[in-house]
Structures are given as C-alpha cells and as structure tokens.
Structure 1
C-alpha cells in the first residue's frame, strides 16, 4: 500500500481555529482524493516525556498501490488541498511536511 503523510506543526496563533478549519474545510477536500482507500487524522497532545510534540496534526492517506497514489497526484482535488493547506499555514503561522511511503 502507498501512503501520503502530511505533518503540520503547531500554529503560532490560535491552534483551535486551525484545527476547526482543518476539520471543516480541509478534510472534505482530502476525502475526494481519487482511489484513496482510507485516511486518518491524528492530533498530537504531547510526547511520552511530557514535552511539546514536534507536530500538531498528522494526516495519512492510503492507496492500494503507488500507481494509484501517483495517478491521484494529478487530480484537481490534490491541487485544491495543497492550495488550501498553504493558505492555512500562512494564516496560522505554521508549516506542513509531506511524505510518501510504502506501508508494509
């Protein structure tokens, strides 16, 4: 299986507003990614040591194959999600890292 992971750092301003916008506006866009078989979102609250985590939100989308995921990368929904994510990170003062991988 192929995965797309997006890691968002904690916003400099209004983390709750970021999370509300992420859930209400961003996730519905991501749910339209072609051939995505599942997706999850994790909101990090801390580390085992009791410190602030390096990331605030993690999205993981899963496809049956690398080919399906690569084909989805050209879809307008991916472009819309990327543009929306950039707008959110600019608005809230955080950043996002995108990673692709193979689930085993």
Structure 2
C-alpha cells in the first residue's frame, strides 16, 4: 500500500517496507513502515482549560526499537522520511496480510 512518501532516491515508501535513516551524528536507524493508530499526549491550545489532552492519531508510523514514530521536519522543513532509503520491499500481498491480519 502506497504512503504517498518518497525516500531520498525518489522510491515510493510503502506499508510493510523497511527503511534506513542515517542521522547527522552517523547513527544508523532502521524502521518498519506501518499504518496504525497510536495514542499520544499533546499540548492544548493556550485558550483551552486543560494544558494537555490524550489523542489518537491514525497514519503512517515508522517503528523503531519499540517506538511508533511519525515523520518529523528538520529546521529547513525537510521531512526525515525524504532522508530515508527503502532497504527492504514487502510484496503487496504480504502488506495487506500484515495490515488486516
């Protein structure tokens, strides 16, 4: 299943793929690309009574070492997903089976 994201080589990133990101300090991280719902605590708008709220966000998640991570942008507004490289492609049938059990 397509995510709408492209890696650093222009390769489409798909659900079930494995990607690699090399951080600025040289650390290498590998992620499993999944579509899932995750629970997060977010800061509320200053006009709201509560300071924080628990929310559920459904979308493309990069799973690494037990963490479900969303793509972030650097100081120049460049997505970290566009700095990744697809290193393992899952077949469409495998991705559907993983997504829907």
* TM-score bracket, shorter-length normalisation: under 0.3
Q: Which has the higher contact order (CA 8 A, sep 6+)?
A: 1
Choose 1 or 2 for highest CA Rg: 2
State the TM-score, normalized to the length of structure 2.
0.26
State the TM-score, normalized to the length of structure 1.
0.25
Q: Which has the higher strand share?
A: 2
Q: Which has the higher helix share?
A: 1
